[in-house]
Structure 1
Amino acid sequence: MAGTAGKKGKVMIGANSVTALNSWSLELGIDTLDTTAFGDDWKNFISGLKEWSASAEGAYNVHTDANGQAALQNAFLNGTDVDLKLYVNNTNYYSGQALISGLSIEDPVDDIVTISIEFQGNGALAYT
């Protein structure tokens, strides 16, 4: 079975790549609404509202990546949406508007400084 190597992935904000990141993840969810009625032997459900969230992490580079990591930090501080694109390879990606719901920086004495960013989807997610 053929797979896709993650080395072609990337995170973009608008037209700008976010540098120094080395992983991202995407979570999709949907509410399931119970429509079970009296006399049913099995539960019945219909789909409700959809949601998505994502996260990304890598080496801290806020001080030199003005249009990437710094832009994400500013969007978090200002509470503004970003135009997020999560590339699986050179041509295929997920995209949507997102709020930065969390931003963590870790500075260990024995390793590199890292950054983790949490995104909360704000509206529809598309796949190209």
Structure 2
Amino acid sequence: MAVYNTSGCSLTVGGTALANLIDATVELSIETIDTTEIGNLDRKFISGIRTGTISGNLYYDQANVQIDALEKAVKSGTAVAFVFTLHTNATYSASAIVTSWSPSAAVADVVRVAFSAQITGEVTIA
């Protein structure tokens, strides 16, 4: 099994690469539909609707244009283009609405922000 480090991974929002990225996650899932007939002892499922989320953590600097791009997405409430690039140049591209924006601070530490976004529409994996 090959193991890779995260050097070279990036996340862009609306075409702007996010600096100070601590971590990022793209989660894709398919909901299932239960089609089990009454009286049948074995459950049966079929594929349903695809869905996904994008989440991450950043070091927070409001003067940084990258943070500003994400904050604008939060304020607008409209979908923006996200592109998550792995160091192998594999990319996950999707339109998503930022659903959570959570700045936090700890004593004697840097300010961080956690965010999450709901993917709307198709995800392109290249």
Asked whether the two chains share a fold, i.e. TM above 0.5, the reply is yes
Please list every run of at least 4 consecutive aligned residues from structure 1 whose deviation after the TM superposition is greater than 2 angstroms.
38-41
Gaps spanning 5+ residues in structure 2: where?
none
Match of 1:99 among 97, 108, 118: 97
Instruction: Name 1:10's counterpart in structure 2.
Output: 10
Match of 1:22 in 2: 22
Q: How far off its partner does 1:44 sit?
A: 0.6
Give, as a single letter, the amino acid of the residue that structure 2 aligns with 1:44: K
Q: Aligned ranges for residues 1-128 of structure 1 at < 5 Å?
A: 1-64=1-64, 66=65, 68-128=66-126
CA distance in 2 between counterparts of 1:91 and 1:27 reads 18
1:58 deviates by 2.0
In the superposition, the TM-score normalised over structure 2's length comes to 0.92
- Deviation of the 1:26 alpha carbon: 1.6
Give the deviation of 1:61 after TM superposition: 2.2
Q: CA deviation at 1:20?
A: 0.6
How much is the aligned-residue C-alpha RMSD, in angstroms?
1.4
Question: How many residues get paired?
Answer: 126
Query: Which has the higher mean CA deviation after the structures are superposed, 111-120 or 5-14?
Result: 5-14
Instruction: Give ranges in structure 1 of 5+ residues lacking alignment.
Output: none
Instruction: Report the TM-score when normalising by structure 1.
Output: 0.90
Is contact 1:87–1:93 with CA below 8 Å preserved after alignment?
yes
Distance in 1, Cα, partners of 2:62 & 2:118 = 20
Could you tell me the percent identity over the aligned residues? 26
